[in-house]
Structure formats: C-alpha cells, structure tokens
Amino acid sequence: MSNEKSPSEPANNPAAKLWGGRFSEATDAFVERFTASVAFDQRMALEDIQGSLAHAQMLSEVGVLSDGEYRQIAGGLQDIAEEIQAGEFPWSVQLEDVHMNIEARLTQRIGATGKKLHTGRSRNDQVATDIRLWLRARIDLIAAELTRLQTGLVELAEREADTIMPGFTHLQSAQPVTFGHHLLAWNAMLGRDFERLMDCRKRVNRSPLGAAALAGTSYPINRERTSELLGFDAPTENSLDSVSDRDFAIEFCAFAALLLTHLSRASEELVLWTSSQFNFIDLPDRFCTGSSIMPQKKNPDVPELVRGKTGRVNGHLIALLTLMKSQPLAYNKDNQEDKEPLFDAADTALDCLRAFADMVPALKAKKENMLEAAAKGFSTATDLADYLVCKGVPFRDAHEIVGQSVSFAIEQDKDLAELSLVQLRQFSAEIGEDVFEVLTLEGSVAARDHIGGTAPKQVRAACERAREMISQRS
C-alpha cells in the first residue's frame, strides 16, 4: 500500500494550506469551491510543468538549488506530467488551482525538496507564464488551420476563375464577377487575420517569470535564462505590469472576434447560396443535417453554427475588456476570470477554422445557375455607361442614358443585351454594333483587367500571388 498522503488533506488544517500559515480557521466549504479554479485551469497543467522545469533549472544554475535537488525536482515533475497525460492525476478542489495541485503532488512524491521549487516566484508570475505558454501553442495551431483554409480557398478560386456569378451590393444584383474572385475576397479577409494573429503572437511571447508577486525577488535569479529555456523572445520589462497584464489575452480575443466575423460573413453567403432561391452551390451531405419533420430538408448547419458562434466570441472580448477596465496594479483575484473566456475563444476559433478548412474544398459551384442569375438585374448596365464614356459622352449624361435604357428594357421584359441596336440607339446615337461586346457577361468580367479586378486572368494571377504569400510562412 502506498504511504503517499492524499492531496486533499491540507483542507483539514488551515496551516497545511500552502499559504495557510497566518490563518486560524479553515476556508468555508462554499468559498473554497467558489474561489477554486482547478476545474478549468488544469488544462494548463503541462505548461505549468514546463515553466516549473525551466524555473528549477535556472535556480540550479544560479546556485539556489543544488544539482541533486534540481534532478529530484525535474524527475518528480516529469513523473507528474506522465500522470496527467495518462488521466491518473488526483486533482483536488481544496488545493484551489493547477499550480498548487502540482506543487503539492511534487512534495508528496519527492518530499521536502519539492517545497523549494517555489523559491523566487509567485503564483502571480506563474499563472501569467502558464497562460502565455498555453496561448502561444494555441496560436500556432490556429495559424496552421488558418493556412490550411486559405490554401483550400485559393485552390478553389483558381478552379473557378472563369465561373461567372452576380456580384451584389445591398444584396441586389450589381455587376458580374467570377466565383473565383469572390472567394479571393474571403481570402483577403483571412490574410489580414493571419497578420493580426502573428502580430499578437509577438506580444504573447514575452516571459513574466521572475516578476514574482509584484516587485520581483531578492534571490539572484536569471530571467533571461528562463525566458530562453521557455522559448520566449525576451523577459517582460516591469514586474508590476508583468503579473497584471492581460492585454495579450484581450488582443487575441479581438483577433478571434474579427476572424469569426469574417467566417460569419462567409457563412451567411453559404447559407444564402445553398437556399433554393439562390441555388448557387452544393454543400456535401457530411456538412449538413436534416429536419425531424420535413424529409426534404438539407440544412447548412456548419455555416449556421459558425455564424452563431461569432456572438459568443464577441462576448468573450467584451468580458475581458470589462474585467480589466477598473483594476488597480498589480494582480487581483478578478484575473481568475480571464481563463474561461480566453480558453473558449481559442477553442471556438480553432474549431470553426477546422470546419471551414474541411468544408471549403468540397464546395461545388452550380455554374449554370450562377450564370443565369448574373444575366438578371441588368448587371452590365455600368459597362454600357463606361462604353458611352469611351465614346466621348460625359459620365453623368451616360448615367442618364443607361437609366433610360434600363427603364425601357424593363417595359420590354428584356435584359439590355436582348435589346436590338435600333432600340438602344434611340437613347444615344453614339451606340454602335460593338456595344454587344460589352453587354455580354463574359465581356464585362474580362474588361476588369487590372490588379484586384475580376477578369479571369487577374484572378489566376491573384491566386498565384496568394499562394506565394502562404508558402513564405514559416
């Protein structure tokens, strides 16, 4: 039988708490549950061990720990990491959080030497370090999924570079574009998101370890060394700010809110395009569900859920901003409330990106329906105005002429391209037989032959540039 003590035993004796020396009575049972964070911060357990290993190595290098004590602590922490990964670690609410659970377990396993691990640090700088390590790893996962989604978008855009569809303003048919061009608009949004994410990572990647409770420590620690061991770019500059700063979490949630906003806009279009009223695309069955009462239904649940999850991520951003708005320096217990919004924002962003990265390459364009829709709504009217301007007609006069032509076409129940030359010339003698070249959908999109335009050759060139940018990511 093991003679190890249960990690819950300190609750029976207030002095046995890791901080309980000055207390004369045990914590109220409800308060213990109310203030505990181990239920959610245990997901940072491996990061906590990673930070502790670096801290212990640094302490041994500066002579605070002997080589033997360091090896004992490192071995104990590695054993605990294996326990956690195997799901065998005995988490205790009485020990409040992930840090005290691991430290208490270490002392149980290796004895009094375990109590030396906390020398020169506080839970304040410890938790700040853990969060940054955790978030840095999640940022890297999110960046990989974002890159996968963009790669799929660019490949699909290239395949659909010639597929004509209506472009909309105010959700009214405006001018013809290509499906590939539209997809590249989504990619442009995501490209900005990637830049924001990488910029955020720079500020996440600073080490607060060694700031201790708020003022630093009198021990001869080497913050540059722990920063190096943990892969941070540099230590943070000010000890007060180090333990209380949550800007990096707010900044990440701002990134996540913008990312989800962009995915939500794309989701809205997918929902519209899969409706029978638009019928522009087909989503494979594996990304849809049916109705319990209407057997004909095929619901676009994945984009609908992404659209819905945007609200919760926006809420997390507001929660963190509100959390920090009135806090005096330095650390306050309020900051325990930072983790659940941050964790969920990261999880939601990652899940939504994965769903989109899986789904987008599987989209099937219904090209005939897109083309038919683009032919409606006088989408080449602007091309007729541009044609007249090229013939020397002032733009405002051309605008009036085209407006009259559209009104006449509506009366005739025809599109502009279906009117005869005689019918068109009644509005302007400058209109010649060559007008029909610009009134076709193909001619319209081909005419936008400049960088950022919807001409198929420009779409292909844009795909090549986008692919090159993605390939340069490290």
The token pair at 74 is: 């490192």
Beta bridge partners of 289: 299
Surface-to-core class of residue 328, CB atoms within 10 Å of its CB (0-12 exposed, 13-18 middle, 19+ buried) = exposed
Is-contact 107 17, C-beta < 8 A?
A: no
Annotate 393-421 with b (16+ C-beta within 10 A) or e (fewer): beeeebbebbeebbebbeeeeebbbebee
Q: Which of 280, 439, 275, 455 minimizes the C-alpha distance to 371?
A: 280
- Give the pairing type, strands 234-235 and 206-207: parallel
470 and 145 Cβ atoms separated by less than 8 Å = no
In 163-250, DSSP assigns E strands to: 164-169, 172-178, 206-207, 234-235
Q: Which one is catalytic: 6, 66, 275, 291?
A: 291
User: For residues 300 and 286, is the Cβ–Cβ distance under 8 A?
Assistant: no
291 as an active site residue: the answer is yes
Query: Which helix or strand (DSSP H or E) is residue 462 part of?
Result: helix 456-471
Of the candidates 24, 170, 276, 474, the residue annotated as catalytic is: 170
Cis, bond preceding 330 (omega within 30 deg of 0): yes
- Give the whole-angstrom CA distance, residue 352 versus residue 360: 12
For the chain, report the end-to-end CA distance as a whole number of angstroms: 52
Instruction: List active site positions.
Output: 170, 291
